[in-house]
């Protein structure tokens, strides 16, 4: 049975969704009422992995967790799944450009497609699409809003903040890879 619950976080209220066995979604900017597409879902904070998801997210936001160990189901095209799995390889406190991500999945000319795939990431934060930035080091689009993206990057880069993360990513980025998409991870 599909179930959902809400948790409060430093970046606002989050909606967690499960099919009863695995985490299938995390939504940001959740309205006070249940989204229409969840009308057939049950509100149950104890369903499947939701208690563990909430615990691990709390630890992440408290600075006590750098990696998640949760059962996930990433539903999408083969390309989207490759892009999302590559996001999980970006270490805590580091960033990559869309072009770098495209190269890592074996398609160096697909930075725009990578941006579109990241924009459809159903499980942000756990699948860290916020760690992908523009080739020039800019904080490009993020479905949860640029301020949330900035907060997440600053949270992960406590020693130097987001500016250091952005500068190091810009220094390592291939500027000849073409324009970066303006879209980003959406929730």
Of residues 105, 114, 129, 133, which has the active-site annotation?
129
> Tens digit of pLDDT for each residue in 133-147?
998 888 887 888 899
Please state, in angstroms and rounded to a whole number, the distance separating the CA atoms of residues 139 and 72: 27
Most confident of 23-32, 53-62, 134-143: 53-62
Enter the tokens of residue 87. 């996001």
- Phi, psi of 39, rounded to the nearest 5 degrees: -60, -30
Name the nearest CA neighbour of 81 among 45, 117, 55: 117
Give the three-class secondary structure for 7. strand
- 175 pLDDT exceeds 60? no
- 183 pLDDT exceeds 70? no
* Average confidence score pLDDT of the chain: 86
Which helix or strand (DSSP H or E) is residue 153 part of?
Answer: helix 146-156
- Cβ-in-10-Å burial (0-12, 13-18, 19+) of 31 comes to exposed
129 is annotated as an active-site residue: yes
Residue 93's pLDDT band, with cuts at 50, 70 and 90, is very high
Higher per-residue confidence, 80 vs 171: 80
Whole-prediction pTM: 0.84
Give the three-class secondary structure for 126. coil
> Tens digit of pLDDT for each residue in 108-128?
999 999 999 999 999 999 999
């Amino acid at each position: 049975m599909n179930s959902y619950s809400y948790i409060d976080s430093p970046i606002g209220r989050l909606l967690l969704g499960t099919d009863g066995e695995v985490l299938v979604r995390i939504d940001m900017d959740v309205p006070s009422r249940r989204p229409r597409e969840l009308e057939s879902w049950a509100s149950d904070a104890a369903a499947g992995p939701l208690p563990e998801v909430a615990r691990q997210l709390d630890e992440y936001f408290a600075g006590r967790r750098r990696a998640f160990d949760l059962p996930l189901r990433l539903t999408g095209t083969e390309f989207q799944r490759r892009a999302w799995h590559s996001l999980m390889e970006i270490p805590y406190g580091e960033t990559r450009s869309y072009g770098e991500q495209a190269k890592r999945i074996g398609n160096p000319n697909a930075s725009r497609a990578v941006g579109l795939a990241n924009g459809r990431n159903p499980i942000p934060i756990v699948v860290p699409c916020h760690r992908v930035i523009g080739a020039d080091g800019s904080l490009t689009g993020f479905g949860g809003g640029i301020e949330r993206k900035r907060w997440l990057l600053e949270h992960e880069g406590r020693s130097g903040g987001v500016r250091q993360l952005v500068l190091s990513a810009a220094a390592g980025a291939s500027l000849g890879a073409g324009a970066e998409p303006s879209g980003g991870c959406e929730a």
